Amino acid sequence: MVSKDELRHLGWISRINLSEEEIETFHHQLGDTIKYIDVLETFDSENLTLDYLEVEFSNLREDKTIEFTRDLIPKSSLAQEGYVKGPKMI
């Protein structure tokens, strides 16, 4: 289960504003889902290994430069001198 406070905290660490209405519905829906995935606990994980996709060192990308010449960031997102404009920090 997740408490409503825990849900608000999850909203904060995910940077999503949650309305009171959303807290109300998500509280139940997330609770159901988390209860469902709690079944993972019932499986014994002793002697379980992890497998990973692998890449050989020799197949890694060669260190070379290629300039990206197309427009990337739309003009509307730019401030003076080519800086990208973000909200103020404080």
Residues 6+ apart with CB under 8 A from 30: 2, 7
Reading the block at residue 36, the tokens are 């469902």
- Check binding of 75 to another protein (CB under 8 A): no
Burial of 11 from C-beta contacts in 10 A (0-12 / 13-18 / 19+): middle
21 sits near another protein (criterion: CB under 8 A) = no
Does 66 help bind another protein (rule: CB under 8 A)? yes
Binding site for another protein (CB under 8 A): 2, 6-7, 10-19, 22, 25-26, 29-30, 32-34, 36-37, 39-41, 43, 45, 48-68, 70-74, 76-90
